[in-house]
Structure 1
Amino acid sequence: MTVIHSERPRILIADDDKSILSLYSKVLAGNKTAQAMFTDATLEGLACKLFGKTEKDERALSFDLTTCHQAEEALEKVQESINNQDPFSVAFLDVRMPPGPDGIWAAQEIRKIDPHVEIVIVTGYSDIHPREIAKKVPPAHKLLYLQKPFHTYELEQFAFSLSVKWNSEKELADSEKRFRTLVEGSPIGTVIIQDGMIMYQNRAMKVFSKYLPESMMLKDFNAHPDDLQKLIYLDKCMNQKEFHPFECEIRFIPFGMKNIDHNIKWVHCTCSQVEFAGIKSAILNMMDMTRIKELEKLAMMREKMVSLGHVATGIAHEIRNPLSGITIFLDAIKETFEEIDDTEDIEELLDHALSAADKIESVIKRVLDFSKFSNPRLKLTDINIPINDAISLSKVTLRKAGIKFKADLLPNAPKIYIDAQLIEQVILNLITNAADALKDIDVKKNILIKTLADKKKLYIIVADSGKGISDDLKEKIFDPFFSTKKNGTGIGLSICQRIIIDHGGTIQAGSLKMGGTQFKISIPIEKRNNSR
């Protein structure tokens, strides 16, 4: 009940007797005693008593009276007060107001317009029992009776007490509304729990709803196996007799989801104690930290790559100088032996040495490419363009290797900000790796490229029908200089990861249920600044 109300409590009087209306006005319209009682009951009066304030406002604040003679007129006044957002706190209604409807009818109709007003039924005689009136004009706690003739002090006390009650209920309702607006609008999920059962949850908890079991019991949340003990301890802290505040981070998995790595949510949980419905309860706040964790991981990877890039540059520089000398010496020796007969064996050995030097130079070039950090040139592009370019470059090689290739690309994929050349490099590298993984496979040599999208991200999936990848290698394969191939440099996937991170995205590896390896790339759809 949010209203703009008068400084003085507004009271409605409905009585067909003019002398009675005159009495109401005399007692309530300018009575300083009632004003003093009302002021003392307000926060201002309490502040004077609690904090020692001695300067009080001595102005005579009487009740703001509105009088009328008939029930229909009273109804009009109430409707007008609601329209003006200046409602009445109390309505005194005479039971009999001939020739029109009676006060009970008026009370029923007023309740429909303003359910918060305090109603006093005033009568000298009524053939209706108060219990019957209470049934017709609920709720009973907002309905009182005043018998004629009444004493002025009774009238003052009724007006004062009911106005204070109305004002207190209004302030309480406003306070509750502000609290609910704050809690319901908060991005932090809030849950109130009693005896392990969830009693209240705000809208933000819908984010976590897929992690809640049907039982709605906290201990039954689907937590990551490594964080299960944290959840058990949290549940214990919130349900034992001696409450203990607790704070932790727990990873949750949606019910029915088996792919833990791709669906996990990091949640920061804090619990404290509150009183809810008169019972001591635990309040649990849950904040989704998944995106923050992802950014932390990306930042850590970026720092790691920068450090390794500096090291790689230094190593490449140290190797390249003596390597250049070796190459020059080998060329000179070869030229010298060309003037001598029967030097075929020596020339062959020198050719092998030069070939080895070229391979070292190639490795050094790739190391330098890895260490060379530059911002991608982001342009709004159809993701299918770099993917199709990479496919075109790979088709001949894949066909010769007997590999079946399938592309399942979104026909109307949302355009995203990418460096098409770099993305093509990533896709080409993943296709090459997939082809290498299928070399030793006799049947079902298949490679699939698929694109998906949601409101925030576009996904690229590159999958093969090979032997798959073990869990302990899923993260290691992105480490620089780590390779599962005999002649691999261990730089290709590191470069791919760096490119995707520079696009503000992620790349993950995993094994498929039917066998084979899958790489999943996610890139934000929205425009963003360059990472570096």
Structure 2
Amino acid sequence: MTEQDTDQLRRYRDLILQATGDGVYGLDIKGHTIFANPAAARMTGYELDEMIGLGQHDLIHHTRPDGRPYPKLECPIYAAFTDGKVHQVSDEVFWRKDGSSFPVEYVSTPVWDDGALVGAVVSFRDITERKRAEDALRESEERYRKIFDSSYDAIVLLDADSGAILDVNQQACKMLAIEHHKLMSMTGFDIHADDAKDVEEFLAKVRDRGRWETESLTCLAAGGLRIPARLSASVAVFEGRDCILMIAHDLRRRIEAEQRVRKLQSDLSHVSRLSTMGELASEMAHELNQPLTAMMNYAQASKRTLETGDSGAQEKVIEFLDKAAAQASRASDIIRGLRTFIKKDEADRSFEDINGLVAEASKLALVGDAAQYIKFEMALAPDLPAITVNRIRIQQVVFNLVRNAVEALADGKEGHIVLGTNLSDDDCIEITVTDNGPGLDEEISDRLFQSFVTTKPEGMGVGLSICRSIAEDHGGRLWAEENPGRGMSFYFALPVSPKSDEIDD
């Protein structure tokens, strides 16, 4: 190699040292700096001539990260001078001229000359940004783990392709009554073994749309217990692999609470019906007294006819007895309707003919003297579809609306009530009760459906409030409007196709 070639190589070496972003410096056997590149000077805050000839350990490596002194004999850089081995470190700091420190990773490589150890070359880089990223990632993982483990909901991390369980939190173990290590050997399909097809469809929607949720699946716990749950899932990336993060919220408490509320609503509805019948006691007595009196008169007439010994007595007695039987049937219908109305209803629902329910409830609402002087008209739409309802509660609403109309017309003349049904444009059956009474004061109208609001001196003020609750429980609505001329109209809308959860009530 010519001297020119040697100079050229030296020049390339110097250019490489100047261009590299890593700090590089060389040490002699005593640890004094014999060269350093611009990056080393820039990162430590020294000028190049301030570094040359000085002990590099005392200059930039004198103190540990925690502030304790760093003895030279324990320094990996200087160890290269004694053991002749390469030392690589990634958890120490170098110190700048201004007294500040920065995290570094470095490699100390021994330098040999004709078999003799003559020094070392050190390359290092500032890993501040990497440390920040690592710290941020660690903090993020700690937050994730804290949220993961402290959640009141069960959380399961699944492999997006196989469905294998990659991680579960303690709440999942608690809810399913399955130990952590056993869950970690299972798949998402094992947790929903009874709904395998539905689970596959659910996971497919999560993969396609990125997230999905459902309340139609159950979780299979230890002992075969099926737990109703709301599942929310989303696609996530964990340790470089596609995953599905699934959160299961146990619905048992909510379902139990809803059942208790329905029980209370049923009890309150029952009390309201009993109270209403109590208020109508005298009217009911009068209504029953008429057929009973007629029956007694026909019986007495039959007796007198038989006592006369008239040749046509038998035919007359038969006629009287037929009329008595008709009155007995009338009384029986009244009592049967009353018993049906006041009995404690169950929460079960069935497909019902609304027109039949409306007609039956209106008969009971029209008992008493007040109703005798009111023109009552029914305008029931034909061919209405049967819908799923609680029969007794729907009749309770119709009874209350018709009875309120009767009472609103009690002191007036030419009272007129129209009870109608029709199929609305939004696929609801509407029951309408319209009267030509005095209407309502604005103060009462604004609070009409609130509890304990009443226009009756001895009323409890819960009838319309309960009616609205019944309507909403069926997915419907109950509202009132003033008629253009006189009176009020009450509208009770029931959806033809209720939601599935309403049918299951």
TM, length-normalised to structure 1: 0.36
Q: Which protein is bigger by CA-based radius of gyration? A: 2
Structure-2-length-normalised TM-score: 0.37
Report which of the two has the higher share of strand.
Answer: 2
Higher RCO, Cα 8 Å, sep 6+: 1
